[in-house]
Every structure is written in structure tokens, then in C-alpha cells.
């Protein structure tokens, strides 16, 4: 039983990084694809499209910070279940936010290629999603401070 708990602890430790990386990569790919498509239809402003398409990459950074906050040396069975729960749920949140942020950014890029004056305001939904990711990060950091060891 102790070995299983330790395995779960290690899964929870890496989950925010792995799931955040998946969400970041898919989100960046979706937004990046829209940015590349927008380049065909516009004469300038490419940099801003590419720049915002990278916004979902923050999810993996948050996952790395969470991983470091959950790290315990040595990993104990007592701490492993908490690490698993916090890490897995934070990772799922980062994964989902990265995916949805990519979708929102792709829409913003597509809309602003036709109507450039709405570019800034069209990023507001992606910024709100980023706020949710920060909430997940902060709550994971707070909870990690309560884990024994």
C-alpha cells in the first residue's frame, strides 16, 4: 500500500507540468494556426498575432511552479495523497484553461484580421482565463504549504 501511495505522489508531483504542457502546446497550436492563417489575409500586424498565440504557454510555467511547491524530500506516504490530489486537479485546470485559451485567441485573431480596431478588446476573454489559471496556481501554492513533510 505504501508503494502505491508513493507512486500516486510522484504522479501528482509531475501532473501539473505534464498536463499544463499538453494544454499549452494544444492552445498555442490552435492560436498559432489562426495567426498563420491571418497572415494570408492581412498586409501587416503579424507580430501581434504571433505574440498573442503564445499566451497559453503560461500554463506550463504555472505547472512547473506548482511542481516545485509540492516537492518533498523524501516523498512520504503521508504527503503523497495530498500531493496527488493537488497536483492532479491543478494540472487538469491548467490543461483545460490552455485548451480554451487557444480557442479564444484563435477567435480573437480571426475577428481582428477583419476588424483590426477590436484587437485589444478581443483579448479580454483570454485574459479572464489567464486569471483563472493564476487562481489555480495560488490555491495550489497555499495548499502545498499545508502538506506535512
- Does residue 51 form part of some domain? yes
- Does residue 149 form part of some domain? no
CATH number, domain of 33, equals 1.20.120.610
- Does residue 83 form part of some domain? yes
Summarised one tens digit per residue, pLDDT across range 26-80 is 999 999 999 999 988 778 777 899 999 999 999 999 999 999 999 999 999 999 9
Q: Report how far residue 1's alpha carbon sits from residue 51's, in angstroms, rounded to the nearest whole number.
A: 48
Domain that holds residue 128: 2-144
**58-70 and 77-114 helices, crossing angle to 10°:** 170
Determine the distance from the C-alpha atom of residue 137 to the mean position of all C-alpha atoms in its chain, rounded to a whole number: 10
Q: Report how far residue 83's alpha carbon sits from residue 94's, in angstroms, rounded to the nearest whole number.
A: 16
Q: How many structural domains is the chain composed of?
A: 1
- Does residue 87 form part of some domain? yes
Q: Report how far residue 17's alpha carbon sits from residue 15's, in angstroms, rounded to the nearest whole number.
A: 5
**pTM tops 0.85, yes or no:** yes
**DSSP string for residues in 24-50:** HHHHHHHHHHHHHHHHHH-SS-HHHHH
* Percentage with pLDDT > 70 across the chain: 100
Amino acid at each position: 500500500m505504501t508503494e502505491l501511495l508513493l507512486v500516486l505522489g510522484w504522479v501528482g508531483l509531475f501532473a501539473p507540468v505534464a498536463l499544463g504542457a499538453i494544454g499549452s502546446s494544444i492552445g498555442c497550436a490552435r492560436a498559432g494556426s489562426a495567426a498563420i492563417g491571418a497572415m494570408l489575409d492581412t498586409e501587416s500586424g503579424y507580430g501581434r498575432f504571433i505574440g498573442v498565440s503564445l499566451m497559453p504557454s503560461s500554463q506550463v510555467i504555472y505547472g512547473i511552479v506548482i511542481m516545485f511547491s509540492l516537492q518533498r524530500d523524501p516523498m512520504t506516504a503521508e504527503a503523497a495523497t495530498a500531493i496527488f490530489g493537488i497536483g492532479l486537479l491543478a494540472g487538469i485546470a491548467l490543461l483545460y484553461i490552455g485548451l480554451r485559451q487557444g480557442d479564444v485567441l484563435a477567435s480573437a485573431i480571426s475577428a481582428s484580421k477583419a476588424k483590426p480596431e477590436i484587437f485589444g478588446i478581443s483579448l479580454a476573454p483570454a485574459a479572464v482565463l489567464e486569471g483563472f489559471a493564476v487562481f489555480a496556481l495560488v490555491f495550489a501554492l497555499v495548499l502545498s504549504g499545508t502538506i506535512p513533510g
